[in-house]
C-alpha cells in the first residue's frame, strides 16, 4: 500500500489522483478524511450519480456509502483508465470477463443506437437513449405497472386499488400499481370478507343495529350515572333527599335563566330508585328530557319490548351488544377497503380481475434482468465519470486550492468591481450565519434569482479589499459553471477584517463611528431643544400681542390726565427702594455662570497652548505618529493572528457538512477567491473633467485648494511669527490664546489709575 498524504492550507489530504489511490484511501480510518458526511444537495453533478451513492435515500452521503460505491465499481472493471480520465464512455474491454450480463446489455444498447457509432464503447447518452423507449412502453423491470399500461378490462380496478394505498413510482418516475400494493389489497380483501361474514352474528337488532348502538352510546353517560345513584340510594336511603334543590336555592334561581339551566342539569334524570329501575314517566324535564323520551320510544321499546321502564340488567345487556356492534364497524372503517365494504358481491367476484393485474406485473418483471443490466451499465458509467471528482470534493479537498472546480462550487459572482470565485449553496441562511458569525472569515450572503422566478441563496467568502465596502441590498451578477447569468442581491454580511491594514485601523473606525453617533445624537437633541424653545417663544409673543391689543382703550373712554401745574403741586415721590438680590435662577446668575464657563474653557485652552508652544511641528507629528502606532500595531497584530485562522470550512459546516479538519485560507487561495481583474493589456486611461457651464467659475478641486492654503498659512505663522501678529499680541488686539499658540509673548497689562469721586 502506497497511500500518500498532501498538505494544503494547514490540513492533511489523502491523495486521490487515480482510482487505485482511491481504493487505498477507502481503507484508511474515517478520522483521516477531511469530510465524513455531506448533504446530497451540496454537490453539482448528475442527480442519478448522487442517487446511486445515497444508498439509504436519506439525502446525505457518508463515508461508508462512498466506500461501497468504490468496491461495487472495482468488482466490475479490470481497467480503470477511464475512471482516472473521468470519461462518460465505457470501453467494453475494460469490463471483467465475468460481467457477461453487462456486456450483453451494452451490446443491446449499441445495436439500438444509430449506425456508425463506435461498437467498442458505450456512452451515457446512448444508454439513456436506449432506455427511454423501454420506459415509454411501460417496461421497467420492477413490476410497477402504470395505469396507461394496465389491460383495459381491469384498468378501473387497478386504478382504484392504487388510490387505496400509498403512491409508488416505477423507474420511469411514473406512479403505478406495485406488486406489494396488489399483495396488500389481496390480504385486506381476504380479511374484510372474513369480517363481513361475522356481521349477522353481531348485528342482533337487524339493519337498524348500528343506528341503535350509536343512540345507546349517546345517552350512556346519563344512564350510567343514574344507575350508580340508584345503588347509592339503595345503600344510603337518606341520600335521596340530597338530590333535590333546597327552597332557598330555588328562590335564588328566580329571574336568572342561566342559573336555572345549570341547576336543572345538576339534577338526576329522574328520582333514583333503590331497585335500579328507570321509570320514564318520572323523568325530570331537564336538558336531557326530550332525548331520553325519544330514546325510550325508539330504542328501549324495540330492544326490550317496553317503553315504560328500563332495568339496570337490561341496560347492561344493551351496552354490551352496542359495544360489539360499534367495534365491528370500527374495524371496517379503519381498514383500507372501507369504500368497498358495502358491495360484498363485488369483493367476492374479482378473483379473475386480480389475476389479470398480477399477470401484467409478472410480464413487466420478466424484463427485470435485462433492464437491471441496463441500469447497472448506467451506474458503471456514472461512477466512472464522477467518482474520482466526488472523492476529491468530499474525502480529500485539493480542488479548493487548485484551479479545478470542486463539485460543491456553484459558480462565480461579480459585485462592486470584484470577482468572487468561490460560492457555496446555503439551504438555511439563519443556521449558516450562526456558524460563520463565530469564525474569522468575512462572508457575503446573496440571493440569486433567475429569469424563470426561481431563487436560491449562496455564501461567498470575501478575502481581499475591505469588509465595509459592501452593504446589504447591493446588486450584482452571478454566473453558474455553464456561464448562465443570474441576478444577485446581497442579503447579509458577516463582517470580519479582510486585511491587516483593516484590522489595524478598526479601532479608529470604531472611534469615528462612536463620535459620529454622539454628534448625531447631540444634533438631534439640540434641534429638538431649539424647536421647543422656538415654539414656546412664539406662544409668548402671541400671548403678548393678544394682551396688548386688549389693553388699547378708545379715545372717548380715556381719562383726562392732570396738568403739569397740578403735577408740580403734587408732593415728591418717595425714593426708589434698592434693587433686590438676584434670584438663583435669574438672568444675572446665568450670565455669571456663563462667564465662569467661558473662563474655564479659556484657561483650558491656554494651558494646552502653553504646553504646545514649546513643541515644534516635528514634535507634534512625532507624538501623533507614536499615538497612532500604539493603537494600530497591537490591533494589526491581533488581526494578523485572526487572519491566519481564516477557515473556509465554516462555509461547508454551515451548509450541513461534517468535517474533520480545517481548510485554511492560504495567500494564494486568498488572491484567487476574491479578485480585482486588471485592465486589458495595452489599454490607457484618459483624465477628463467636466467643463464649467458658460458664465460659471471653475470650482473643481476648490475644497482641496482651500485646505492647502490653510495648511500653508498655519505653517508660516508657526515658523516665522508674522510681525503683524506680534504687533497685535503686543497691543492686546489679538486674543491671548492665539498668541500662546503662535508662541508670542503679549505686552504686560498696565493698570489704569483709579479716580476718586
pLDDT tens string 317-357: 999 999 999 999 999 999 999 888 888 888 889 999 999 99
| pLDDT at 563 > cutoff 60 | no
Between residues 690 and 643, the one the model is more confident about: 643
Which residues neighbour 287 within 8 Å (Cβ) at sequence distance 6 or greater?
Answer: 261, 264, 265
Q: Are residues 209 and 297 in the same domain?
A: yes
Residue 248 counted as domain residue: yes
- Residue-range definition of the domain harbouring residue 484: 409-499+647-675
If you ran DSSP here, which 8-state letter would residue 575 be given? P
Candidate from 26-40, 530-544, 638-652 with smallest mean pLDDT: 530-544
In 3-state terms, what secondary structure has residue 402? coil
Candidate from 33-47, 399-413, 502-516 with smallest mean pLDDT: 502-516
Q: Are residues 254 and 377 in the same domain?
A: no
pLDDT of residue 699: 55
pLDDT of residue 716: 63
| pLDDT at 635 > cutoff 80 | no
| pLDDT at 561 > cutoff 70 | no
Residue 342 counted as domain residue: no
Residue 123 counted as domain residue: yes
Q: Are residues 134 and 10 in the same domain?
A: yes
> Within 10 Å of residue 218's Cβ, how many Cβ atoms?
12
Between residues 268 and 604, the one the model is more confident about: 268
Which residues neighbour 508 within 8 Å (Cβ) at sequence distance 6 or greater?
Answer: 631, 632
Q: Are residues 319 and 424 in the same domain?
A: no
Each residue of 273-312: pLDDT tens digit?
889 999 999 898 888 899 999 999 999 999 998 889 999 9
User: Would you place residue 113 in the very low, low, confident or very high pLDDT band (cuts 50, 70, 90)?
Assistant: confident
pLDDT of residue 747: 60
* Mean pLDDT value of segment 665-685: 81
Q: Are residues 331 and 204 in the same domain?
A: yes
* Mean pLDDT value of segment 4-24: 79
If you ran DSSP here, which 8-state letter would residue 325 be given? H
Burial class (CB in 10 A: 0-12, 13-18, 19+), 188: middle
Residue 446 counted as domain residue: yes
* Mean pLDDT value of segment 522-532: 74
pLDDT of residue 448: 93
| pLDDT at 106 > cutoff 70 | yes
* Mean pLDDT value of segment 645-655: 84
* Mean pLDDT value of segment 109-126: 79
| pLDDT at 694 > cutoff 70 | no
Between residues 738 and 657, the one the model is more confident about: 657
> Within 10 Å of residue 299's Cβ, how many Cβ atoms?
23
* Mean pLDDT value of segment 565-580: 50
User: Would you place residue 371 in the very low, low, confident or very high pLDDT band (cuts 50, 70, 90)?
Assistant: confident
pLDDT of residue 378: 92
Each residue of 373-408: pLDDT tens digit?
888 999 999 999 999 999 888 887 777 777 788 888
pLDDT of residue 754: 45
Q: What is the DSSP string of 664-687?
A: B--HHHHHHHEE-PPPPTT-----
| pLDDT at 176 > cutoff 70 | yes
Q: Are residues 289 and 222 in the same domain?
A: yes
Residue 478: beta bridge partners? 413, 486
> Which of the given ranges, 270-284, 552-566, 635-649, has the highest pLDDT on average?
270-284
* Mean pLDDT value of segment 649-672: 84
pLDDT of residue 548: 61
* Mean pLDDT value of segment 69-79: 93
Which of 335, 354, 381 terminates a domain? The answer is 335
Domains in the chain, number: 3
Residue 623 counted as domain residue: no
pLDDT of residue 565: 42
Q: Are residues 9 and 133 in the same domain?
A: yes
Between residues 528 and 739, the one the model is more confident about: 528
Q: What is the DSSP string of 476-545?
A: EEEEETT--EEEEEEEEEE----SHHHHHHHHHHHHHHHHHHHHHHHHHHHHHHHHHHHHHHHHHHHHHH
Percent residues over pLDDT 90 in the chain: 30
| pLDDT at 588 > cutoff 60 | no
Q: Please, what is the average pLDDT of the chain?
A: 80
If you ran DSSP here, which 8-state letter would residue 300 be given? I
Q: Are residues 235 and 330 in the same domain?
A: yes
Q: Tell me the whole-structure pTM to 2 decimals.
A: 0.60
pLDDT of residue 178: 93
> Residue 121: what are its φ and ψ, rounded to 5°?
-145, 145
Q: Are residues 300 and 323 in the same domain?
A: yes
| pLDDT at 49 > cutoff 90 | yes
Q: Are residues 209 and 329 in the same domain?
A: yes
Q: Are residues 276 and 390 in the same domain?
A: no
| pLDDT at 597 > cutoff 70 | no
Residue 150 counted as domain residue: no
- Cell of residue 22, nine digits: 482511491
Residue 11: beta bridge partners? 8
* Mean pLDDT value of segment 137-151: 86
Residue 598 counted as domain residue: no
Residue 476 counted as domain residue: yes
Candidate from 6-10, 97-101, 477-481, 601-605 with smallest mean pLDDT: 601-605
* Mean pLDDT value of segment 628-636: 76
Q: Are residues 235 and 320 in the same domain?
A: yes
Amino acid at each position: 500500500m502506497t497511500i500518500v498524504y498532501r498538505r494544503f492550507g494547514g490540513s492533511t489530504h489523502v491523495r486521490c489522483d487515480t482510482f487505485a489511490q482511491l481504493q487505498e484511501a477507502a481503507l484508511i480510518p474515517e478520522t483521516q478524511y477531511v469530510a465524513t458526511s455531506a448533504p446530497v444537495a451540496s454537490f453539482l453533478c448528475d442527480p442519478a450519480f448522487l442517487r446511486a451513492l445515497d444508498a439509504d435515500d436519506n439525502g446525505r452521503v457518508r463515508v461508508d456509502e462512498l466506500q461501497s460505491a468504490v468496491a461495487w465499481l472495482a468488482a466490475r472493471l479490470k481497467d480503470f483508465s477511464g475512471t482516472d480520465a473521468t470519461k462518460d464512455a465505457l470501453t467494453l474491454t475494460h469490463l471483467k470477463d465475468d460481467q457477461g450480463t453487462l456486456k450483453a446489455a451494452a451490446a443491446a444498447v449499441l445495436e439500438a443506437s444509430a449506425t456508425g457509432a463506435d461498437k467498442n464503447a458505450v456512452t451515457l447518452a446512448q444508454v439513456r437513449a436506449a432506455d427511454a423507449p423501454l420506459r415509454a412502453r411501460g417496461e421497467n423491470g420492477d413490476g410497477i405497472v402504470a395505469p396507461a399500461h394496465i389491460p383495459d378490462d381491469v384498468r378501473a380496478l387497478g386504478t382504484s386499488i392504487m388510490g387505496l394505498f400509498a403512491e409508488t413510482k416505477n423507474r420511469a418516475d411514473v406512479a403505478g400499481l406495485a406488486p406489494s400494493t396488489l399483495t396488500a389489497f389481496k390480504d385486506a380483501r381476504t380479511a374484510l370478507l372474513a369480517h363481513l361474514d361475522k356481521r349477522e352474528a353481531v348485528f342482533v337488532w337487524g339493519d337498524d343495529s348500528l343506528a341503535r348502538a350509536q343512540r345507546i352510546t349517546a345517552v350512556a353517560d346519563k344512564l350510567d350515572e343514574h344507575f350508580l345513584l340508584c345503588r347509592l340510594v339503595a345503600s344510603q336511603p337518606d341520600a335521596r333527599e340530597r338530590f333535590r334543590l333546597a327552597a332557598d336555592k330555588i328562590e335564588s334561581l328566580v329571574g336568572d335563566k342561566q342559573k336555572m339551566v345549570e341547576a336543572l342539569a345538576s339534577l338526576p334524570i329522574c328520582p333514583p330508585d333503590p331497585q335500579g329501575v328507570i321509570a320514564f314517566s318520572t323523568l325530570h324535564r331537564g336538558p336531557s328530557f326530550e332525548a331520553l323520551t325519544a330514546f325510550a320510544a325508539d330504542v328501549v321499546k324495540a330492544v326490550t319490548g317496553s317503553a315504560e321502564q328500563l332495568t339496570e340488567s337490561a341496560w347492561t345487556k344493551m351496552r354490551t351488544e352496542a359495544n360489539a356492534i360499534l367495534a365491528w364497524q370500527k374495524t371496517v372503517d379503519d381498514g383500507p377497503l372501507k369504500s368497498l365494504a358495502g358491495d360484498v358481491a363485488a369483493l367476492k367476484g374479482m378473483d379473475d380481475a386480480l389475476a389479470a393485474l398480477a399477470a401484467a406485473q409478472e410480464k413487466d418483471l420478466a424484463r427485470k434482468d435485462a433492464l437491471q443490466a441496463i441500469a447497472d451499465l448506467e451506474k458503471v458509467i456514472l461512477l466512472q465519470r464522477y467518482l474520482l471528482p466526488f472523492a476529491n470534493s468530499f474525502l480529500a479537498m485539493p480542488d479548493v486550492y487548485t484551479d479545478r472546480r470542486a463539485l460543491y462550487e456553484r459558480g462565480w459572482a461579480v459585485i462592486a468591481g470584484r470577482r468572487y470565485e468561490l460560492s457555496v449553496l446555503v439551504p438555511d441562511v439563519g443556521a449558516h450565519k450562526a456558524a460563520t458569525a463565530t469564525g474569522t472569515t468575512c462572508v457575503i450572503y446573496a440571493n440569486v434569482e433567475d429569469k424563470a422566478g426561481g431563487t436560491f441563496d449562496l455564501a461567498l467568502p470575501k478575502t481581499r479589499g475591505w469588509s465595509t465596502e459592501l452593504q446589504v441590498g447591493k446588486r450584482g451578477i452571478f454566473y453558474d459553471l455553464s456561464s448562465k447569468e443570474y441576478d444577485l442581491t446581497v442579503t447579509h454580511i458577516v463582517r470580519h477584517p479582510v486585511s491587516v491594514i483593516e484590522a489595524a485601523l478598526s479601532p479608529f473606525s470604531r472611534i469615528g463611528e462612536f463620535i459620529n453617533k454622539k454628534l448625531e445624537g447631540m444634533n438631534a437633541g439640540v434641534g429638538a431643544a431649539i424647536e421647543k424653545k422656538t415654539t414656546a417663544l412664539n406662544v409668548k409673543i402671541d400671548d403678548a400681542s393678544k394682551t396688548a391689543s386688549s389693553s388699547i382703550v378708545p379715545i372717548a373712554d380715556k381719562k383726562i390726565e392732570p396738568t403739569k401745574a397740578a403735577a408740580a403741586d403734587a408732593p415728591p415721590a418717595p425714593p426708589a427702594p434698592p434693587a433686590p438680590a438676584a434670584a438663583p435662577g435669574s438672568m444675572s446668575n446665568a450670565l455669571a455662570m456663563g462667564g465662569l464657563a467661558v473662563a474655564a474653557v479659556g484657561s483650558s485652552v491656554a494651558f494646552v497652548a502653553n504646553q504646545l508652544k514649546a513643541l515644534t511641528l516635528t514634535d507634534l507629528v512625532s507624538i501623533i505618529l507614536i499615538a497612532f502606532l500604539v493603537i494600530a500595531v497591537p490591533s494589526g497584530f491581533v488581526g494578523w493572528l485572526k487572519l491566519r485562522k481564516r477557515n473556509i470550512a465554516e462555509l461547508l459546516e454551515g451548509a450541513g457538512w461534517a468535517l474533520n479538519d480545517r481548510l485554511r485560507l492560504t495567500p494564494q487561495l486568498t488572491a484567487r477567491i476574491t479578485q480585482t481583474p486588471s485592465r486589458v493589456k495595452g489599454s490607457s486611461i484618459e483624465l477628463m473633467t467636466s467643463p464649467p457651464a458658460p458664465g460659471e467659475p471653475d470650482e473643481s478641486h476648490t475644497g482641496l485648494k482651500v485646505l492647502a492654503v490653510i495648511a500653508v498659512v498655519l505653517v508660516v505663522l508657526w515658523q516665522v511669527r508674522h510681525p503683524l501678529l506680534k504687533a497685535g499680541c503686543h497691543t492686546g488686539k489679538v486674543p491671548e490664546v492665539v498668541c500662546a499658540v503662535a508662541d508670542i509673548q503679549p505686552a504686560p497689562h498696565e493698570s489704569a489709575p483709579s479716580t476718586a469721586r
